[in-house]
Structure formats: structure tokens, C-alpha cells
């Protein structure tokens, strides 16, 4: 069994958000396959390859397996061991906010029915959706590490030689009614609208929920939240750069030549243009 103490009591909330964003909870349909071998459930999270240090951090805490695809474009952290799955469920169960809680409860049912020797003399309880205020624990930081993005746009002003500097925070998820409530909750807190986005790829059409935080007030709320409940993927580095521009805008320093040059310098190493990744922030992880 796992033995650790959380620094701030938010590992469960963060991990729940990460799983609900980019995770999979697999529950077999039957206990044994046609060859009479046991079908094991698992929990896995898929990361972009640049976020491998975060996957390795979770591996160092919970064990499991690390798998990298042949093209070296993504990495998967996956847990099969029943005793570790039980500990993870206890850690994350109270914090789920989407319909993935149904998968979690199906996993609990599967474990209660088939792995009683691991549970000893008790059974795992089922969980209900967490309806506490979304900005009062680390769930959203895990969810944003999975599905959020920070953006910087520098463009020419109309009829002017001056530049316009704009920043935004975006969350985009596939259009699934199970995500509507959580997306609405986040949008309402930030004071932004929730949209449905339509995209066409080849002959297929895809729809997603989209919220974009453009306003100064929403940026203030975002900074307040992520300063308290930090990101731990490479998006943390994007947030730190993004916040620099937010602070420049707040004091109107981005309008000066020096401020604009700093904004351009930040943008030129931002998101996909980043070549150097500093992972010191993982030393502040929740254990």
C-alpha cells in the first residue's frame, strides 16, 4: 500500500482533474477472458512527450508503468496493480466533477465483486459528484493541465503603426453533454461565454465546448487561482510567461517600446516555440 503525506491536501483533487481531462478508467466486461485469464482494470493518463517529467513524477509516487510510443510523441502512465488502484480511488474519489465518476464507480463495483482479498473485510464506497466551489481545490489545475491553454497574440492595430498585445486562457473539450455543466460552471466563475465550436477534418465534422477568457477581470481570477493551485505540466512555464504579460498590461507597461519588446521576446519562446524546459516547479508537487 502507498504511504505518503500530502503537503497541501490537494493531490487527490489535482489527480482527479487530470484523469477527468486526459485519463482513461478501463473496466473489463468480464472477470476472465476466453483463455480463462483474469481481465485486470486500469487507470491511465496520456501526456504529450514534453510532459514526460510529470508522468515520471506520478510514477515515482504510485509506481505503475511508463510507456512511450514508437514515434516518441506521447507517453502513458498506467496502473494495473489492484492495491495501488484501491489507494488511488481513495485519494481521488471525493473530487470527481464530470460523468467519469460513473466509470470510477463501475471500477469500484468491479473491485468489490472480484478482488475482495485485496479489500480485506470491507468494500469500497461509491462516490457522488463533488459540488463544492470549483476554485477551492486543485481539481481545475489538473483539468487545465489536460485541456487548457494560454495564448499570446501580438498584431498590428488598424490604421496605426502600434501593436496590439492580447492574452487569453482557453479550455476546449469535445461536445459531450456530460461536460456541459462543468464547462458552464467554469465559464460563469470567469464571467465568460461558453461556445460550441465546429471543425471539419477531411469529411468528418467535430464539435467541442469552448470558453475563452479575454477580460482583465477573468485574467485576475485565473492568476489568483493558479498561484494558489499551480499547474505541474509544461503549461506551468507558459502560465509564468503569460502572467508576465498580464502584469505588464495591468500597469500599462506593454504600451512602451521596452514593454512591447519584452512581450515579443516572451511570445517568441512561448508554447510550441519553447526549446528549454525547466522542471524545478515539480519540486513543489503535493507530496
For 249-271, the pLDDT digits (tens) are: 999 999 899 999 999 999 999 99
CA distance 122 to 112: 9
Confidence of residue 225 (pLDDT cuts 50, 70, 90): very high
pLDDT attached to residue 3: 58
Residue 199 CA, distance from chain mean position: 22
Question: What Rg value do the Cα atoms of the chain yield, rounded?
Answer: 21
Give the pLDDT mean for 180-206. 89
- The mean pLDDT value for 224-247 works out to 97
C-alpha closest to that of 95 among 42, 44, 143, 145: 143
Q: Is 84 exposed, middle or buried (0-12, 13-18, 19+ CB in 10 A)?
A: middle
Residue 184 has pLDDT above 70, yes or no: yes
The reported pLDDT for the residue numbered 123 is: 83
d(CA 165, CA 264): 9
pTM recorded for the entire structure: 0.92
Q: Domains in the chain and their CATH numbers?
A: 11-131 (3.10.28.10), 143-284 (3.10.28.10)
pLDDT score, position 121: 66
Q: What is the pLDDT of residues 101-119, one digit of tens each?
A: 999 999 999 999 999 877 7
Better-scored residue on pLDDT, 148 or 174: 148
Average pLDDT over residues 57-86: 95
Amino acid at each position: 500500500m502507498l504511504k505518503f503525506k500530502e503537503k497541501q491536501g490537494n493531490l487527490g483533487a489535482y489527480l482527479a482533474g487530470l484523469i477527468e481531462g486526459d485519463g482513461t478508467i478501463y473496466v473489463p466486461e468480464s472477470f476472465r477472458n476466453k483463455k480463462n485469464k483474469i481481465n485486470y482494470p486500469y487507470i491511465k493518463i496520456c501526456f504529450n512527450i514534453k510532459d514526460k517529467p510529470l508522468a515520471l513524477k506520478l510514477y515515482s509516487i504510485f509506481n505503475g508503468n511508463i510507456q512511450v510510443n514508437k514515434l516518441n510523441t506521447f507517453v502513458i502512465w498506467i496502473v494495473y496493480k489492484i492495491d495501488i488502484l484501491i489507494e488511488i480511488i481513495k485519494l481521488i474519489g471525493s473530487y470527481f466533477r464530470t460523468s467519469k465518476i460513473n466509470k470510477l464507480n463501475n471500477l469500484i463495483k468491479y473491485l468489490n465483486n472480484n478482488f475482495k482479498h485485496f479489500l480485506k473485510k470491507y468494500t469500497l464506497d461509491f462516490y457522488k459528484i463533488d459540488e463544492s466551489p470549483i476554485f477551492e481545490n486543485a481539481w481545475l489545475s489538473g483539468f487545465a493541465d489536460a485541456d487548457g491553454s494560454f495564448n499570446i497574440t501580438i498584431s498590428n492595430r488598424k490604421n496605426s503603426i502600434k501593436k496590439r498585445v492580447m492574452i487569453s486562457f482557453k479550455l476546449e473539450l469535445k461536445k459531450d453533454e456530460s461536460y456541459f455543466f462543468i464547462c458552464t460552471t467554469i465559464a460563469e466563475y470567469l464571467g465568460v461565454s461558453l461556445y460550441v465550436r465546429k471543425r471539419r477534418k477531411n469529411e468528418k465534422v467535430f464539435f467541442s465546448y469552448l470558453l475563452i477568457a479575454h477580460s482583465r477581470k477573468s485574467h485576475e481570477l485565473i492568476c489568483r487561482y493558479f498561484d494558489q493551485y499551480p499547474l505541474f505540466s509544461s503549461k506551468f512555464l507558459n502560465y509564468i510567461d503569460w502572467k508576465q504579460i498580464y502584469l505588464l498590461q495591468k500597469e500599462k507597461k506593454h504600451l512602451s517600446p521596452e514593454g512591447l519588446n519584452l512581450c515579443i521576446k516572451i511570445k517568441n519562446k512561448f508554447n510550441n516555440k519553447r526549446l528549454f524546459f525547466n522542471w524545478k516547479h515539480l519540486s513543489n508537487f503535493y507530496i
